Structure 1
Amino acid sequence: MGLHVVVIGAGFGGLGVAHALRAAGVRDITILERADDVGGVWRDNTYPGAACDVPSPLYSWSWATNPTWGRRYSGQAEILDYIRRTAADDGLLDLVRTGTEVTALEYADGAWRITTNHGVLEADVVVSATGQLSNPVIPAIPGADTFAGPAFHSAQWRHDVDLAGKRVAVVGTGASAIQFVPGIADRVRALTVFQRSAPYVVPKPDRAYTPGHHRAFERWPAVPAGERRLTYWITERFNGALEGTSPIAGPLMAAIRASWKLQLRRQVRDPELRRKLVPDYRLGCKRVLFSNDWYRALDRDHVDVVTEPIIAIEPAGVRTGDGRLHEADVLIWGTGFAATEFLGGIDVRGVDGVPLEKLWADGARAHLGMTMPGFPNLFVVYGPNTNLGGSSIIGMLEAQAGWIAQVARRIQDGRAHRVAVRRDVWEAYDDEMQDRLGHSIWAGCDSWYRDGRRITTNWPGLVAEYRRRTATVDWSELEEVGAVSSR
């Protein structure tokens, strides 16, 4: 029996799964992508200054290292070009159906029925690679739809809107805002940044790679390989510090805090503004951000940082709790993504029609972040508790792709049919995750890592540990579920 695998999403996760499946000998693969191109978040986020906060030598597939990166921390356009080029060279683009949005997954008669905007198709195995940062969020603020001027989310940047000479309001001070605010500050007439919680922003050790670097990278591949290994080692020490297991956790976090404090003091002259920009939580509890020009952008005469809570959006601007109306011509939402809504927008129903939202009524959870009881042959890439506080997510994605490829190959060989994690294993794993996360640094504050009740996004250990645990499938943890198709 041939095995048909459908992968949902053509970003780093989905394309990486397809590569791993083909390496394992699984050939019948279809990648469904709702947009008109591959690239995931690097296709969608085109705002000024968009770039990665993980060094490029590590933020790339291990099977497609790139000696021609233009700088240590590459920008959006270069990363998107890398994804497109690598997918083309690997023959993955031939597997992609663009403009195809999945709205429902239903397990019936031993197979998955996939409902899309172009009709229904069936698959033996489905892999969701929709990501944690793919669906933008605009907060439910009264009057949000009444603003008279252009209003858009940073992940849906309106390049047709000329910001020159405009009064611009920015809501949010997260990872996107710290990049696009410096990118637009010189163009606008006035900029008002609404801050709910100040982030820790530390220097970004970025630099352009020179022709000399590129000659060395081409001539001696061990040089970029060594940079990749060194970056991985450094980021793993940071992961250990967040978990609290690293022996250098104390000194490392103290050094990071000192670099943040020094940058804030050097770049912000106004002591009152400086006080506004001091976080009220422990370093590492929320995502640590990297920028060399965020604080400089805020310390300009035409830029105002507002910490009063927003109570309403009005046609003319933003109303805050002190009663003041902050007038604006353009409103930009830098308010992040629905990170805890895994498979968001897809109605998923497993054995006996049980909806996934019922299984996840108390929060999303999956064994190894990939498999749930009662949902055979459905696997999630970048699923619950697989995000990182540090290091490159691509290392996690590759580990997941390898594990899924092992399962798919076993099914193709007829040694398994319709498999999912045993419920007791799923429950024990989730207990472990929540116990460890409860003792991690992330337990100390509210952040997008939480769904309001529990931390559902983050992995509590090192990347190395996750790779060990996913390197070889433990078949005793899985069981046959549901009817075996007679097709």
Structure 2
Amino acid sequence: MSIDEQATAPLSVVIIGAGFGGIGLAIRLDQAGISDWLILEKGGDVGGTWRDNSYPGAACDVPSHLYSYSFEPKPDWSTRYARQEEIHQYIRHCVRKYHLAPRLRLDCEVTAARFDEASGLWHVTTAQGEELTARALVSACGQLNRPLYPSIPGLESFAGDAFHSAKWKHDVELEGKRVAVIGTGASAIQFVPQIAPKVSHLTVYQRSAPYVIPKADREYSQRDHQRLHAWPALQKLARGLQYLAHESRALAFISYPQMMKSTENAFYKHLQQGVTDPAKRAKLIPDYPIGCKRILISNDFYPALDRANVEIVTNRIERVEPAGVRTSDGELHETDVLIYGTGFAATEFLAPMAITGRDGQELNHAWRAGAEAYKGISVSGFPNLFVLYGPNTNLGHSSIIYMLESQFNYVIGCLQTLHRRGLRYMDVRPEVQGAFNVDIQQAASETVWSRGCTSWYQTAEGKQTNNWPGYTFSYRRLTRKPEMSDYECAR
């Protein structure tokens, strides 16, 4: 079927997003014999977050062999923790190898999708005004696709260059400039060490100090590559060992918080070795229990902050002015370039798309109290809609690729059931979704993420919408196949 024919005939699946989720599902769909699908990607290239986050020092904090598809191993990763460009090239490689390009539309943003109950079809509208129809709709947008800007008065008044780390302006010269960085999260700890030696003065505005521990990174040698090429089983073993090592960390997050003590000791030792200035060191001690927010890994963040040209400001930012940033103590910190390292709108999921399900129900309204989905995939009232990396499927201890591959199996099982039984739609029962999420919230309340801090893992009201409060192998078992009794099925 040509791409023009696909535009008029109902497709089996429309996938929104060409990151790890969308590309991986497309490959698995082909392998399952479902080939009439189409990926719609709002950006000009594939890669998702690994396309967007090209800031200096961008890298993964999960080992390379674990942060790649099990069905497409890469024996020649350059380093233990891959850099952004290499991960981006890996996704591009998968598109080429599996011949996905003819069924992939770039620069094609989805603005709305509406389910028609009578036909059992999703009507998907793009920013160009085109409408596509499909029996199933898959959101592969992920949780980290919309940059979050701080709510600070005067942002628009700043006279210099200003940008978010996820939209890095590589044409802005930082050498010799007075640069301000707002935020000290996972992105900032990677780009701050890269820019600190270049700028004349770097001011880092910190609202909450992160726990940062050493990163056990290393380069892989040519001999390493040759061994893995020659013995693929060796790479499977390495991946398996890395999986077990990371899964064991979940014991501390989920079951035995007291096990965090060794990680906390590693943090204090790392801070002591990296920052010699006692005044700076005092500002870098978190005021919340370890693990409550994301634990970060870096070998060069603390030494970068220890530099004489780097200042850590913990006073609240009152407003941004044309000449710089004014803090609550009244001081104006003059600034040439302003960089937001403030993360993403992680709890908003499918926003700003208008997704309309049965009886005219809008997803944003259904999720007004915080996003939830059955197994993080199906949403009651929105038949044949499947969400990858959806509510409560993020991890604090392992690779999201493992979670995605669990979801691929489940979604394909649902699609095969729709076809085999000749169903018009399947809609998860509200009581099933409700009971599942009561259990999820109860489990989340007993993890380290609920120990009295605010983080992007939860909504402003405190509902845990992002993390999976369990082990990844238990999620794999849970998503092994769909149970039809969980769904209302219509022919």
* AA of the residue aligned to 1:80: H
Q: Equivalent residue for 1:268?
A: 275
Query: How many pairs does the alignment contain?
Result: 478
Q: Aligned-pair distance for 1:93?
A: 2.4
Q: Equivalent residue for 1:185?
A: 196
1:470 to 469, 474, 479: 479
Q: Aligned-pair distance for 1:259?
A: 1.4
2:377 to 346, 370, 388: 370
Q: Distance in 1 between matches of 2:424 and 2:475?
A: 26
User: Is the 1:317–1:328 contact (alpha carbons within 8 Å) kept by the matching residues of 2?
Assistant: yes
2:12 to 1, 4, 8: 4
User: Is the 2:373–2:379 contact (alpha carbons within 8 Å) kept by the matching residues of 1?
Assistant: yes
Q: Distance in 2 between matches of 1:2 and 1:80?
A: 31
Q: Aligned-pair distance for 1:240?
A: 2.3
2:349 to 342, 347, 363: 342
Q: Distance in 2 between matches of 1:361 and 1:39?
A: 29
* AA of the residue aligned to 2:468: W
Alignment map for 1:370-449 (pairs within 5 Å): 370-444=377-451, 445-449=453-457
Q: Equivalent residue for 1:55?
A: 63
**Relative contact order: is structure 1 or structure 2 higher (C-alpha 8 Å, sep ≥ 6)?**
1
Deviations 1:434-479 (A, max 9, x none): 0000111101111000111201001000110000000111111111
User: Is the 2:228–2:234 contact (alpha carbons within 8 Å) kept by the matching residues of 1?
Assistant: yes
User: Is the 1:24–1:406 contact (alpha carbons within 8 Å) kept by the matching residues of 2?
Assistant: no
Q: Distance in 2 between matches of 1:102 and 1:414?
A: 30
Match of 2:464, SS state, is coil
Q: Equivalent residue for 2:335?
A: 328
User: Is the 1:105–1:112 contact (alpha carbons within 8 Å) kept by the matching residues of 2?
Assistant: yes
Check if 1:157 corresponds to 2:171. no
Q: Distance in 2 between matches of 1:15 and 1:215?
A: 28
Q: Aligned-pair distance for 1:415?
A: 4.0
User: Is the 2:10–2:135 contact (alpha carbons within 8 Å) kept by the matching residues of 1?
Assistant: no
User: Is the 1:104–1:348 contact (alpha carbons within 8 Å) kept by the matching residues of 2?
Assistant: yes
* AA of the residue aligned to 1:61: Y
* AA of the residue aligned to 2:449: W
Deviations 1:51-87 (A, max 9, x none): 0000001000000010010010010000000110012
1:457 to 461, 466, 481: 466
Q: Distance in 2 between matches of 1:153 and 1:203?
A: 26
Q: Aligned-pair distance for 1:413?
A: 2.5
Deviations 1:298-347 (A, max 9, x none): 00100000000111000011111111111110000000000000101101
Q: Aligned-pair distance for 1:45?
A: 0.4
Q: Aligned-pair distance for 1:2?
A: 7.3
Judge which range, 413-422 or 22-31, deviates more: 413-422
Q: Distance in 2 between matches of 1:243 and 1:269?
A: 34
Match of 1:242, SS state, is helix
Alignment map for 1:74-473 (pairs within 5 Å): 74-108=82-116, 109=118, 110-118=120-128, 119-244=130-255, 250-251=258-259, 253-444=260-451, 445-453=453-461, 454-473=463-482
Q: Distance in 1 between matches of 2:285 and 2:113?
A: 45
Paired-residue identity, % = 50
User: Is the 2:10–2:133 contact (alpha carbons within 8 Å) kept by the matching residues of 1?
Assistant: no
Judge which range, 399-408 or 108-117, deviates more: 108-117
Check if 1:73 corresponds to 2:81. yes
Match of 1:370, SS state, is coil
User: Is the 2:59–2:82 contact (alpha carbons within 8 Å) kept by the matching residues of 1?
Assistant: yes
* AA of the residue aligned to 1:154: S
Extract unaligned runs of 5+ from structure 2. 1-8
Q: Aligned-pair distance for 1:3?
A: 5.1
Q: Distance in 2 between matches of 1:406 and 1:417?
A: 15
User: Is the 1:14–1:31 contact (alpha carbons within 8 Å) kept by the matching residues of 2?
Assistant: yes
Q: Distance in 2 between matches of 1:3 and 1:94?
A: 14
Deviations 1:236-262 (A, max 9, x none): 1112210125xxx534x2221121111
Q: Distance in 1 between matches of 2:236 and 2:301?
A: 31
Check if 1:39 corresponds to 2:27. no
Q: Aligned-pair distance for 1:210?
A: 0.7
Judge which range, 458-467 or 412-421, deviates more: 412-421
Q: Distance in 1 between matches of 2:320 and 2:46?
A: 35
Deviations 1:102-151 (A, max 9, x none): 01111123211111012111111000010100000101210011100000
Deviations 1:414-434 (A, max 9, x none): 443201211110000010000
* AA of the residue aligned to 1:201: V
Match of 2:156, SS state, is coil
Judge which range, 290-299 or 410-419, deviates more: 410-419
Deviations 1:250-299 (A, max 9, x none): 34x22211211111001111111111000111111000000000000000
* AA of the residue aligned to 1:111: L
